[in-house]
Amino acid sequence: MSGLLSGKTALVTGSSRGIGRAIAVAAAGEGALVGVHYAGGADAAQTTLDAIRENGGDGFLVQADLFERQGPDTLAVKFLDEVEQRTGQRSFDLLVNNAGYGGRYRIDQVDDAIFDRMIAVNFRAPFFLVRALHPAIKDGGRIVNVSSMGTRAAFPDMSIYAPSKAALETLTVVLAKQLGPRGITVNAVQPGATVTDMNPLDKDPARAAAAIQTIALGRLGQPNDIASVVTFLLSEAGGWITGQKIDVSGGQRI
């Protein structure tokens, strides 16, 4: 721990596993008090919290289903209630919109239910979560949105996933302009092929080998590869970067 985020309070959505878990553990390892958000996987979220504490950090669990229409507002209230109990302030510093809904679908495979869930979790939820929470973010705070390099390369089986993330990237730029006068930075990161529960490439050697062939650095990404960049953007060192889409793919399909 180097204390890059010492004294800060953070919310990381979808942090019960994968990239979200890595970001939560890394942020706590740098001194932040971290709200570990989850929708339904309480045991997995507890594993994240255990990892935070084993690493010398501190955090707490907060549950809300971001697919539900009131999910973002519910999460905002629960999170700020817990922050107030722990810090005596109803304000915080760092928001990472990581929660997402994945899946590979060509346009003819997308039914109404898939479309609605993808848009709801990947775009609507972070939109309304920021709407609810931005007044409580302290001046000089940080927002990082987790997008995908699929927004800059054509993957036919990302027919709704990529557009939902592209909307999040556009929101990133809009918010950077709006919140800039308060010293709040807003950026997006674009992971590439990263080994997670949602994308278990390491379990399929042929698919993994094909993906590696498209990556300049010659390997699959790991959650910590993404977390280290997000932690930088959350820190003071990242304070002169805003409104940016930062590729964190190892040079995939460049």
Q: Which residues are marked as active site?
A: 148, 161, 165
- Of 70, 54, 66, the closest CA to residue 13 belongs to 66
CB of 197 within 8 A of CB of 155? no
**Tokens 């990529």 sit on residue:** 162
213-220 long-range Cβ contacts below 8 angstroms, 24+ apart: 214/252, 214/253, 215/249, 215/250, 215/251, 215/252, 216/250, 216/251, 216/252, 216/254, 217/250, 217/251, 218/250, 219/250, 220/193, 220/194, 220/195
Separation CA 191–CA 34 (nearest Å):
22
State how far the Cα of 186 lies from the Cα of 179, in Å rounded to an integer.
Answer: 8
Contact 30, 5 (CB under 8 A): yes
> What distance in Å separates the CA atoms of residue 148 and residue 212, rounded to the nearest whole number?
17
d(CA 210, CA 61): 38
| CA distance linking residue 193 with residue 196, whole number of Å | 9
